[in-house]
Amino acid sequence: MIKESAGMATEPPDGALRAPRGALSRMGWISWSHLLNDGCAFYLPAVLPRILVALHKPVEMAGVIVGALYVWQTLQPLAGVWADNVGGPWFITLGLLGTLCGAGLVGLATNMGMLVFFLMVAGIGSAVFHPSALKAARTTLHDRPGLGLSIFLVGGEIGRGSWPLFAGILVAWFGLKALCFVALPGLLTLYFVYHALPDMPPRPAHAEKIRWRRHVGPVALLMAFSATRAVVMYGVTTFVPILWHSRGGKLVGGASLLTTMLIVGIIGNLSGGALVDRFGRRPVLIVSSFLLIFLTPSFLFVHGEMMWVAAGLFGIALFSTFSATLLIGQDIFPENRALGSGIALGLSNATGALLLMPLGFIAHHGHYNRLFWIFSGMAVLMFCFAFTLGPRLTAPHPAR
């Protein structure tokens, strides 16, 4: 169990940062930047069936290709430490630029080497973007951290939900090369994003040092929960479109399933953040994980319109957990919020992506039943790990 420790859930040394005037306007731009970043970083599963055909690769390579994009999230903790020490909004804008460029070039790949390189650029850009952006979101609405992170996460969900459909339509109508247009909205607004971001001074030289030994246990338990969640998330979002395609469905239909899952998931994200602020973090994690045990394998048993119902319910349950785990990660590291964000989101997601890579080979010969039951088993582990998070880190965050 994670034990209560002094200073664990207090404000960081950079707590002198205050929500600037026009905080909601700034939050809007921060959320918009998250929409752009995650839209470009998450559209890949929607067009993966067409990419596999174009590169003459079997379906079992799906997990490898998706892993090649998300494995770079392991760099988020390093990016978080660097961003805290350097300060400023540069990490947000440069990271976003890398994601846009890498994602926009995916359609031009003519072989696996080029594809992996473009995915690497997008993956590294996303890893650089997230820790600073998460810190900016919490700083801007410091008195309501759950709400602030929820608004930020909602932007990402809108991007993850709308860009797959956007990309699917582009590819269906104009071919893979048209994917360059997924980066256009971000490139057109990057200048405005940069100038709207809050000031983020570097971490003071006299600030408290990171107490690694104290944090090892809490980090391990948080990683266990978040990494198993990542396997469920990446597994379902990767193979639901492929499952749909194997049943004779068209590319745009599979993309719209992801759009439904992620857009409807906004309900879970907003309600999850509000419930965290009111009731605490552990109840949200326990209830959501329990629901995922049943919702994850539901895709095997439903057809037609019910696939969209299952996708929406799955999205609500999945994304209601993100505010809680991000707050826990940030409070584990009161000395370095960006580092905590990088571990709670990036490193955990990358670990899940690595675990997913070999699982993709189970899809050979259409063994999708096995895959989705494995993902359901991961949801069971999530449910178990939720009970290991102790009361201090899962308590409601006090209003400030």
Torsions phi, psi of 127, nearest 5? -65, -40
Residues 6+ apart with CB under 8 A from 206: none
Q: What is the pLDDT of residue 394?
A: 47
6 within domain boundaries: no
**Between the CA of residue 94 and those of 108, 121, 187, 219, what are the distances in Å?**
22, 12, 12, 28
Per the structure, how many domains does the chain have?
A: 1
Instruction: Identify the segments of the chain with pLDDT beneath 50.
Output: 1-20, 394-400
8 within domain boundaries: no
Q: What is the pLDDT of residue 160?
A: 83
Residue with tokens 């970083």: 41
17 within domain boundaries: no
CATH of the domain at 188: 1.20.1250.20
pTM: 0.72
Q: What is the pLDDT of residue 338?
A: 67
169 within domain boundaries: yes
Q: Tell how many helices (H) and how many strands (E) occur in the chain.
A: 17, 0
Residue 348 is encoded by which pair of tokens? 């955990």
41 within domain boundaries: yes
7 within domain boundaries: no
| Domain boundaries, position 252 | 22-205+214-394
29 within domain boundaries: yes
2 within domain boundaries: no
